[in-house]
Amino acid sequence: MRICIGFPRGKIFARLQDTPTAQALIAALPIDSTASTWGEEVYFATPVSAELETTAREVVDPGTLCFWVQGNSLALPYGRTPASREDECRLVTSVNILGEVEGDPRELEKIRDGDEVQVTAA
């Protein structure tokens, strides 16, 4: 399954894995939210709630589509965050892995704090 994340200066696509959290996200589409940023990470609230999955982790590759369980939010890291050590993408806590952004994850730099975002099926 693919999703589209639209924002004022563009859109990106992501491919989802078949996980319980990804299925819950798909069932909740479409989602309208407001973006927040934390270093080189964009995150935003969703109506989805989930439990931490066995594959959850704190350090991910740039462009990994993550679900922050404690915040019921999608998290999209594309570089260093305030929690990073050296050049890693480290999130504030372990997150569920949903999939990955297609193309260059640096496109996420175009999303600003406070931007409206829409997540739809692609």
DSSP of 94-116: EEEEEEEESS-GGGGGG--TT-E
Q: Which residues pair with 42 in a beta bridge?
A: 37, 76
Per-residue pLDDT reduced to its tens digit, 3-22: 999 999 999 999 999 999 99
Domain region containing 38: 2-121
How many domains are there within the chain? Answer: 1
pTM of the model: 0.94
SS3 (DSSP) at 118: strand
pLDDT of residue 50: 97
At which residue do the structure tokens 């399954």 appear?
A: 1
pLDDT of residue 51: 97
pLDDT of residue 90: 96
pLDDT of residue 2: 96
pLDDT of residue 13: 98
Can you tell me the distance from the alpha carbon of 112 to that of 28, in angstroms, rounded to the nearest whole number?
Answer: 24
pLDDT of residue 75: 97
Can you tell me the distance from the alpha carbon of 30 to that of 49, in angstroms, rounded to the nearest whole number?
Answer: 15
Q: What is the CATH number of the domain that holds 24?
A: 2.40.100.20
**DSSP tag of 9:** T
Can you tell me the distance from the alpha carbon of 79 to that of 41, in angstroms, rounded to the nearest whole number?
Answer: 7
Q: Which residues of the chain have pLDDT under 70?
A: none
